[in-house]
């Protein structure tokens, strides 16, 4: 990355006024300044716009507000089309960046003289790297996502590098904090169908990372730090949608070899068992079963 390269930030948001204001404030305090922040708000009304103008009227970065009732992935694609930066950052509205987050990510791009690095993410510092608990062991056993080396599993789910102490190549970038070169975003888009499958874009970062990592280099740097403050509460309906989206992405992305198919089935079984037996969430287990029923009766 050249010193003259511009930086854009894209943030989808919905009904999270306090969160998005704190997020934008942390972006404006970065040691490496960004040129524009594009906020795509899918709330019922556009009241956030006036608050942004009031609170950040003296910001050096250009803050662009777009009110559009669309899914998270559709909002990101709007941000791609509207942005002008050579590097485009994507953040969730509930992250708080350390003041050198952008600088550390830009340094990784800048160290790549051959231009092979397509995307970079940092480290979520308030997320404990769980490797040895019974939950972690079960997730490894049942071919689900877990803390590992950043590679995708045969099931199509990723291992997570958060908490690793060194810069390393990864196949998966977390959706709350991704940065990509502009030329990559000219050839890849976020799958808007994920939002249409039920209203929530579960596994959208899995899908995008999988496709990009088959052709390009993705990197993780522990020096770029942020906090992700609002973990998602998984309701039974969202468990149902998770299963449906997972099937869609497996069908779309993963080779249909026998080991992959078996790993996918084991992963679904593991999700059902861990939800119903170990978490004692009967309603969640029913949601998983409903998702499996949806898959068998109405494949996406």
Nearest alpha carbon to residue 98 among 46, 43, 23, 39: 23
User: Mind giving me the DSSP string for 124-180?
Assistant: ETTS----SSHHHHHHHHTT--EESSSPBPTTSPBEE-TT-SS-EEES---TTEEEE
CB 103 within 8 A of CB 32: yes
The mean pLDDT value for 224-245 works out to 83
Domain 7-127+162-228, CATH homologous superfamily name and number? Spore Coat Polysaccharide Biosynthesis Protein SpsA; Chain A (3.90.550.10)
For residue 163, is it left (φ>0), alpha (ψ between -120 and 50) or beta? left
Burial of 79 by CB count in 10 Å (0-12 exposed, 13-18 middle, 19+ buried)?
Answer: buried
Q: For residue 50, what pLDDT is reported?
A: 93
Mean pLDDT score, 231-250: 83
Q: What's the pLDDT tens digit per position in 56-82?
A: 999 989 999 999 999 999 999 999 999
Report the candidate in 82, 84, 103, 80 with the shortest Cα–Cα distance to residue 27: 103
The pLDDT of residue 128 is 85
User: What pLDDT was estimated at residue 273?
Assistant: 87
pLDDT in tens, 171-197: 999 999 999 999 999 999 999 988 776
pLDDT digit string, tens, across residues 84-132: 999 999 999 999 999 999 999 999 999 988 889 999 999 999 988 888 8
What pTM did the predictor assign? 0.92
For a pLDDT cut of 70, what percent of the chain falls above it?
Answer: 94
The DSSP symbol for 233 reads P
List the chain domain ranges: 7-127+162-228, 236-297
What's the pLDDT score for residue 298?
63
């Amino acid at each position: 990355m050249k010193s003259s390269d511009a930086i854009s930030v894209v943030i989808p948001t919905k009904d999270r006024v306090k969160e998005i204001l704190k997020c934008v404030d942390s972006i404006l305090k970065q040691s490496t300044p960004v040129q524009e922040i594009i906020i795509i708000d899918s709330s019922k009304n556009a009241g956030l716009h006036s608050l942004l103008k009031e609170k950040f009227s003296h910001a050096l970065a250009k803050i662009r507000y777009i009110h559009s009732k669309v899914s998270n992935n559709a909002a990101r694609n709007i941000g791609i089309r509207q942005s002008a930066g050579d590097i485009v950052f994507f953040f969730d509205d509930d992250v708080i960046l350390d003041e050198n987050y952008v600088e550390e990510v830009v340094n990784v791009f800048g160290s790549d003289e051959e231009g092979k690095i397509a995307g970079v993410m940092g480290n979520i510092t308030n997320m404990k790297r769980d490797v040895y608990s019974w939950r972690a062991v079960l997730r490894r056993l049942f071919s689900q996502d877990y803390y590992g080396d950043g590679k995708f599993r045969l099931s199509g789910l990723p291992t997570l590098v958060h908490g690793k102490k060194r810069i390393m190549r990864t196949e998966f970038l977390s959706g709350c904090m991704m940065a990509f070169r502009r030329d990559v975003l000219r050839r890849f888009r976020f799958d808007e169908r994920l939002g249409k499958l039920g209203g929530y874009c579960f596994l959208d970062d899995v899908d995008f990372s999988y496709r990009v990592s088959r052709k390009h280099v993705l990197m993780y740097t522990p020096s770029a730090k942020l906090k992700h403050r609002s973990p998602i509460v998984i309701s039974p309906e969202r468990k149902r949608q998770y299963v449906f989206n997972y099937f869609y992405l497996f069908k779309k992305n993963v080779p249909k070899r026998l080991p992959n198919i078996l790993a996918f089935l084991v992963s679904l079984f593991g999700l059902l068992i861990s939800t119903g037996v170990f978490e004692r969430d009967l309603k969640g287990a029913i949601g998983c079963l409903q998702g499996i029923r949806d898959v068998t009766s109405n494949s996406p």
